[in-house]
Amino acid sequence: MSGDALTQARPRVNPWLVAVAVMSSAVMEVLDTSVVNVSLPHIAGSLASTVDQATWVLTSYLVANAIVLPITGWLSNHFGRKRLLTTVVTGFTLSSVLCGLAPSLPWLVFFRILQGTTGGGLQPLSQAVLLEEFPPEKRGTAMAVWGMGIVVMPILGPIVGGWITDSYSWRWVFFINLPIGIASIILIRLFIFDPAYIRRRSRTVDFWGLGLLALWVASLQIMLDKGQEDDWFSSHFILTLAIVAAAGFVAFVIREFATNEPIVHLRLLGVRTYAAGVFLIAVLGMILYGGLVILPLFLQELLHYTALTAGELTSPRGVGTMIFMPVAGYLLGKRFDSRKMMSVGMVAAGLSLFGFAQMTLDVPVSYVVWMGILQGCGMGLLFVPLTTTTMDPIALPEMGYATSIYSLTRNLGGSVGIAFATTMQLRRAQFHQNVLIAHLTPATPAYRAALARITAYLTARGFNPANAGHAALGLLYGMVRQQADYASYLDVFAAFGWIFFAAIPFLWLMRRPRTGKKPGAAAAH
């Protein structure tokens, strides 16, 4: 089928109006995911629960979201993309209002499951619509505009969430979605139309595939979210989740390749460029979300900044991203080799992580800001060309399936990154503490001298000489813990930097995008 035939069945609409329509819903979902994090202590106090119990507000959403992500392509093909978009935006908006009205924690968790279920399709749907609406030579620009919202919102989210929670109430974190959702629904109804190759007809539903998908994704997401809290595989609960996730994943893959009507088109991973891009977006998600957790913790726990200040110091990364995403889109439009651009972006982002790994406990604010800007510049040069290059060999009828898998791997990569960062930081802190304590023995002259100095200082400040020695030991141990924590954070930053550099060769497994292709033809990449 020719490109002209595909467009005859629907009105001609300015693609930028379509971009505004789909971006409003996608940005709403991304912002909501990140703003809730900072509100957890307020939610716990308001609903008479502990902070640990309140974390199920996050986990329940992530699990429901992750299950829906990979089946969005099938759902849009089954029900029609416009109808599905209208339904999920409506559902997300209404469930947001219900979250804000929740009278208890169990009800809030239930409404968050509804919100995650409806919100899961927003990102892949919006991405698929944009990639279809814009010709290949303009996709870089479209993805740059879309990406600024998707990448920058998780960075600004904690600041917005903190301000709303402190100034009003945590419930307004959810209520703000109501006007955005209504506007998005109106725009979708006005400007989005299904392409001719979307087949809205009764098809066999792969119930086995859907069930296995829900089983392994839910098990994996809960394992990653609760693993560190339960000390990983020393917990029978976490071990059981790991076994279920692994077995469910294997059974799911076998099922999807065996059936004629798979709910997730795993065969797309046989396209080398697409498979490499899916791997790289998982790495990008890992660094993006893992870094969003570990840097604020470093600033708050070791440099003693407030949560709001720590959030503000992470925002320069968004500034760098916003500057360089349009640059990346412009260069792609000029046929600049996307692989070279991505290589530069990964080197810049990797160097920024090594820069964070050189921080001291008296690091100036300007250093943190400039390293964040450098990382954002790298992300801006990476995100847009990665998306356009990954999707270039995919035929338009398969685009919804492709963006669904792509979005799932990015989100799972983010969950892995957060789990990796928090676990590594704690384990490396224990390691460094053991090393330092091994050198602090009564036989060590430096240890005796330090203990004597601290004891004399406390005695001079009025401590009872009999208690000053014990207090000095406590202060010395506090210094050891601080240094161990400090070294562990630097280890995490360095590890993320090495992961980025190790992923660079995978960029060159991808083929350079072409100027155009027939929408209905499978690519030969």
Residues 343 and 485 in one domain: yes
Rounded Cα gap, residues 108 and 178, in angstroms: 17
For residue 4 the two structure tokens come to 């002209």
The answer to whether the beta carbons of residues 382 and 345 sit under 8 Å apart is yes
Which of 310-328 are b and which e, b meaning 16 or more Cβ less than 10 Å from the residue's Cβ? bbbbbbbbbbbbbebbbeb
Residues 338 and 323 in one domain: yes
The answer to whether the beta carbons of residues 346 and 386 sit under 8 Å apart is no
For residue 376 the two structure tokens come to 């954002």
> What percent of the chain stands above pLDDT 90?
8
pLDDT recorded at residue 517: 47
Q: What is the pLDDT of residues 26-51, one digit of tens each?
A: 777 777 766 676 676 677 777 877 76
pLDDT recorded at residue 447: 65
pLDDT recorded at residue 354: 93
**Domain-ending residue, one of 141, 167, 197:** 197
For residue 39, the domain's CATH number is 1.20.1250.20
The answer to whether the beta carbons of residues 309 and 368 sit under 8 Å apart is no
Mean pLDDT in residue range 496-520: 77
| Three-state SS at 141 | helix
Confidence grade of residue 247 (pLDDT, cut at 50, 70, 90): very high
pLDDT recorded at residue 158: 65
Q: Is the pLDDT of residue 94 over 80?
A: yes
Residues 417 and 447 in one domain: yes
Residues 229 and 164 in one domain: no
Q: Is the pLDDT of residue 519 over 50?
A: no
Confidence grade of residue 307 (pLDDT, cut at 50, 70, 90): low
Q: Look at the chain and count its residues.
A: 525
Domain interval for residue 452: 269-525
pLDDT recorded at residue 2: 41
Q: What is the pLDDT of residues 146-190, one digit of tens each?
A: 777 666 666 666 667 667 766 777 788 888 888 888 888 888 888
For residue 461 the two structure tokens come to 């400040």
pLDDT recorded at residue 31: 72
Residues 296 and 418 in one domain: yes
pLDDT recorded at residue 6: 42
The answer to whether the beta carbons of residues 519 and 396 sit under 8 Å apart is yes
For residue 181 the two structure tokens come to 């959702």
Which of 440-468 are b and which e, b meaning 16 or more Cβ less than 10 Å from the residue's Cβ? beeeeeeeeebbeebbeebbeeebeeeeb
pLDDT recorded at residue 512: 79
Confidence grade of residue 86 (pLDDT, cut at 50, 70, 90): confident
| Three-state SS at 510 | coil
Instruction: Enumerate long-range contacts of 2-7, CB under 8 Å, 24 or more apart.
Output: 2/518, 2/520, 3/518, 3/519, 5/196, 6/195, 6/196, 6/197, 6/396, 6/519, 6/520, 7/195, 7/196
**Residue predicted with more confidence, 131 or 113:** 113
Rounded Cα gap, residues 431 and 413, in angstroms: 26
pTM for this prediction: 0.74
pLDDT recorded at residue 265: 84
pLDDT recorded at residue 264: 81
Q: Which residues lie closer than 8 Å to 384 by C-beta, 6 or more apart?
A: 140, 143, 144, 147, 325, 328, 329, 332
Rounded Cα gap, residues 410 and 280, in angstroms: 9
pLDDT recorded at residue 458: 66
pLDDT recorded at residue 109: 86
Confidence grade of residue 120 (pLDDT, cut at 50, 70, 90): confident
Mean pLDDT in residue range 476-501: 85
Residues 367 and 496 in one domain: yes
Confidence grade of residue 441 (pLDDT, cut at 50, 70, 90): low
**Domain-ending residue, one of 197, 214, 248:** 197
Neighbours of 517 (CB within 10 A): 18
Q: Residue with structure tokens 């986990």?
A: 59
Residues 377 and 323 in one domain: yes
Instruction: Say which DSSP state 511 is in.
Output: P
Q: What is the pLDDT of residues 444-476, one digit of tens each?
A: 676 666 666 766 766 766 666 666 666 666 666
Radius of gyration of the chain (CA): 25
Residues 383 and 315 in one domain: yes
What is the secondary structure of 458-491 as a DSSP string? HHHTT--HHHHHHHHHHHHHHHHHHHHHHHHHHH
Residues 414 and 501 in one domain: yes
Residues 231 and 299 in one domain: no
Residues 56 and 164 in one domain: yes
Q: What is the pLDDT of residues 356-367, one digit of tens each?
A: 999 888 888 889
Q: Is the pLDDT of residue 240 over 70?
A: yes
| Residue 279 phi, psi dihedral angles, 5° rounding | -65, -45
**Residue predicted with more confidence, 467 or 91:** 91
Q: How many domains does the chain have?
A: 3
**Domain-ending residue, one of 197, 214, 246:** 197
Confidence grade of residue 4 (pLDDT, cut at 50, 70, 90): very low
Phi-psi region of 235 (alpha: psi -120 to 50; beta: other; left: phi over 0): beta
Neighbours of 14 (CB within 10 A): 10
> ∠ CA(34), CA(410), CA(517), 5° rounding?
125
Q: Tell me the residue ranges of DSSP E strands in 57-212.
A: none
Q: CA nearest 61: which of 173, 159, 156, 200?
A: 173
Q: Is the pLDDT of residue 232 over 50?
A: yes
Rounded Cα gap, residues 474 and 468, in angstroms: 10
Residues 285 and 228 in one domain: no
Q: Is the pLDDT of residue 351 over 90?
A: yes
pLDDT recorded at residue 196: 67
> What percent of the chain stands above pLDDT 70?
80
Rounded Cα gap, residues 244 and 231, in angstroms: 18
Q: CA nearest 341: which of 513, 525, 110, 198?
A: 513
**Average pLDDT score, the chain:** 78
